[in-house]
Chain A
């Protein structure tokens, strides 16, 4: 700490001991609510999950030790593997096209000649503001199985027979991915736009003087400078995809079919519909491990790419 006047230094010296003590007491007091609440609702449940994963329990009766059986049970359950497969496919279908489109939209919105910029921005961002439940209900009706469903009646114009979305392997995944795409594309557009606006105009100016074409500017300036933002959206997209739950639950109306069940939906069904708390905890641990692996990979990639470069984010 820097003191301004002699008088102040003197005063500070006189009360420094008690001041230090006061700081300590206040500091511990101010941060304690987090740690107390976290101990009860964060740490304890987390440790208990690890414990529970080795027990057989229906939530009410006795817990019986089950060894690694819970893990054997889920690893031998084809639906569990299906849920992982579905999660990955839905995640890829919902996220990859979304990020590409978001990039294009951000690039268009960043154009200097564009008018009504804010109107476009607000329109594209609006889906993000609605609740996932409302979106999922709306899209489950848009992707209705019958010929009067909006998507089916559109396909009907081209003579396509109505698709039974809730029972079709790809239909279910596409419908769920569409919900994710629609809700998140605007959000990522805004992130990319923020990134593009943080790039100094001097760079483009210099490139122009050197005779760089638009494609060259995009490739050598915009994309490299945007890397931290792209990594952020990829990371959030990955973690978010691994936790998809609401969309399939609403889309299948409580009857979670294997065409669209995701890992978290599998966990939910095991725990709160079948009362298999032990195997559900085992699922939670597997999910935790998968998310940790992705986070570590992301951290490593970010560190490597960020090294020696001025970070923007």
Chain B
């Protein structure tokens, strides 16, 4: 080992505490997922018994069939997917374009405009909630996925982040050379800047996608028709249904969680580093 051990426990008890703590924390973190699966496979009468079941039952298919009978699960998942992909793609494009302008183009008032964007980051989203709802209803966008997608494209953090990245990742000389060769400014962005910032797209993309996928308050307010519900709003409707069929409810949350977990396990390194990068840099 090249590195010097930092907090190396000298005796076995130290190591025992270390592993004990982490194993306990790991179990506490994972147990709710396991229990969600257990409940998703149990009939209701088993769930309502004391003590509760801790091993899976045989009702996996039945419970999920009941979910499909209560809410349009796949429709809601499709809505979530459309909204998240659209917002991610759109805001990556707009943020990188604006980030490029702030990092590399010279124009009057550039720095003032950039500071204005930073200031907007401090406004809590709830402040404009009611008027934004009113605007959306006037536009006739209630229960329309546009109500989530269009306002979702504003992303001050994304612009800030792209500007920092483009400043470091794209040398001025490269842009000048391309301009001399007759590239239009948009072509410089498209052919030179975007290939150079693919890692930034990946990290910001994960952050944006997760935020949109998990957003609840705004979709709850504007998506009123059941057919327009995103997964989060549909899950809420599921748990509010009058018969409290816990097996069915947790089957819904379980199958809504599985895709996220699979994606996370496949890309956990990129996931963790993007979320910490986004956090620590801001």
Interface residues of A (CB under 8 A from B): 1-4, 8, 11-12, 19-20, 22-24, 26-28, 30-31, 33-35, 37-38, 40-42, 44-46, 48-49, 52, 59, 101, 104-105, 107-114, 118-135, 137-142, 146-150, 153, 156, 182, 185-187, 190-191, 194-195, 201, 204-205, 208, 214, 217-218, 229, 232, 236, 239, 242-243, 245-246, 249-250, 253-254, 264, 267-268, 271-272, 277, 280-281, 284-285, 287-288, 291-292, 295, 313
Docked-complex contact A182 and B28, CB < 8 angstroms: yes
Docked-complex contact A107 and B7, CB < 8 angstroms: yes
Give Cα distance in the complex from A229 to B217, angstroms: 29
Docked-complex contact A111 and B128, CB < 8 angstroms: no
Give Cα distance in the complex from A3 to B276, angstroms: 38
Interface of B is mostly: helix
Chain A residues near B6 (CB, 8 Å)?
Answer: 110-112, 201, 204, 217
Residue of A nearest to B128 (CB): A45
Residue of A nearest to B22 (CB): A120
Docked-complex contact A277 and B101, CB < 8 angstroms: no
Docked-complex contact B185 and A23, CB < 8 angstroms: yes
Interface residues of B (CB under 8 A from A): 1, 3-9, 15, 18-19, 21-22, 25-26, 28-30, 32-33, 35-36, 39, 47-52, 94, 97-98, 100-102, 105-108, 110, 113, 117, 120, 122-135, 150-151, 153-154, 156, 159, 172-173, 176, 179-180, 185-186, 189, 210, 213-214, 216-217, 221, 231-232, 235-236, 238-240, 246, 249-250, 253, 256-257, 260-261, 264-265, 268, 271-272, 275-276, 279-281
Residue of B nearest to A4 (CB): B173
Q: Assuming A30-B100, A194-B280, is B25 touching A124 (CB within 8 A)?
A: yes
Q: Assuming A134-B235, A137-B235, is B3 touching A201 (CB within 8 A)?
A: yes
How far in angstroms is the closest Cβ of chain A from B80?
Answer: 10
Chain A residues near B257 (CB, 8 Å)?
Answer: 130-131, 134
Docked-complex contact B108 and A41, CB < 8 angstroms: no
Docked-complex contact B25 and A37, CB < 8 angstroms: no
Chain B residues near A119 (CB, 8 Å)?
Answer: 26
List 29 A–B pairs whose Cβ atoms lie within 8 Å, in order of A's numbering.
A4-B173, A8-B176, A22-B185, A24-B108, A30-B189, A31-B102, A34-B94, A37-B153, A45-B128, A45-B129, A45-B130, A46-B131, A48-B134, A52-B131, A101-B25, A111-B6, A112-B1, A113-B5, A118-B268, A122-B272, A131-B256, A138-B32, A142-B35, A182-B32, A201-B3, A205-B4, A242-B124, A268-B221, A284-B126
Residue of A nearest to B113 (CB): A31
Inter-chain contact total with CB atoms closer than 8 Å: 299
Docked-complex contact B240 and A246, CB < 8 angstroms: no
Docked-complex contact B94 and A33, CB < 8 angstroms: yes
Docked-complex contact B250 and A138, CB < 8 angstroms: yes
Docked-complex contact A292 and B154, CB < 8 angstroms: no
Chain B residues near A194 (CB, 8 Å)?
Answer: 276, 280
Chain A residues near B213 (CB, 8 Å)?
Answer: 131
Docked-complex contact A105 and B25, CB < 8 angstroms: yes
Name the one of B122, B127, B135, B236 contacting A287, with C-beta atoms under 8 angstroms.
B127
Docked-complex contact B154 and A140, CB < 8 angstroms: no
Residue of B nearest to A113 (CB): B8
How far in angstroms is the closest Cβ of chain B from A212?
Answer: 12
Docked-complex contact B130 and A52, CB < 8 angstroms: yes
Name the one of A38, A271, A292 contacting B120, with C-beta atoms under 8 angstroms.
A38
How far in angstroms is the closest Cβ of chain B from A108?
Answer: 5
Chain B residues near A30 (CB, 8 Å)?
Answer: 97-98, 100-101, 105, 189
Docked-complex contact A125 and B272, CB < 8 angstroms: yes
Give Cα distance in the complex from A128 to B265, angstroms: 13
Docked-complex contact B107 and A46, CB < 8 angstroms: no
Docked-complex contact B134 and A59, CB < 8 angstroms: yes
Docked-complex contact A45 and B256, CB < 8 angstroms: no
How far in angstroms is the closest Cβ of chain A from B189?
Answer: 8
How far in angstroms is the closest Cβ of chain A from B101?
Answer: 4
Chain B residues near A131 (CB, 8 Å)?
Answer: 213-214, 216, 231-232, 235, 256-257, 260
Chain A residues near B110 (CB, 8 Å)?
Answer: 27
19 extra interface residue pairs, beta carbon distance < 8 Å, beyond A132-B214, A138-B35, A229-B280:
A24-B108, A30-B189, A31-B98, A37-B153, A37-B154, A38-B120, A38-B154, A42-B123, A110-B7, A111-B6, A131-B231, A133-B235, A133-B236, A137-B238, A138-B36, A236-B279, A267-B129, A281-B130, A287-B126
Docked-complex contact B135 and A108, CB < 8 angstroms: no
Name the one of A37, A121, A285 contacting B127, with C-beta atoms under 8 angstroms.
A285
Docked-complex contact B179 and A19, CB < 8 angstroms: yes
Residue of B nearest to A45 (CB): B128
Residue of A nearest to B107 (CB): A27
Q: Assuming A137-B253, A288-B123, is B128 touching A268 (CB within 8 A)?
A: no
Docked-complex contact A284 and B129, CB < 8 angstroms: yes
Chain B residues near A33 (CB, 8 Å)?
Answer: 94, 97-98, 153
Docked-complex contact A250 and B236, CB < 8 angstroms: yes
Name the one of B107, B150, B264 contacting A41, with C-beta atoms under 8 angstroms.
B150
Docked-complex contact A191 and B107, CB < 8 angstroms: no
Q: Which 7 pairs of residues, A with B, have the shortest CB-CB distance?
A: A45-B128, A27-B107, A45-B131, A48-B131, A30-B101, A123-B26, A26-B185
Docked-complex contact B123 and A46, CB < 8 angstroms: yes
Docked-complex contact A45 and B132, CB < 8 angstroms: yes
Docked-complex contact B235 and A109, CB < 8 angstroms: no
Docked-complex contact B32 and A243, CB < 8 angstroms: no
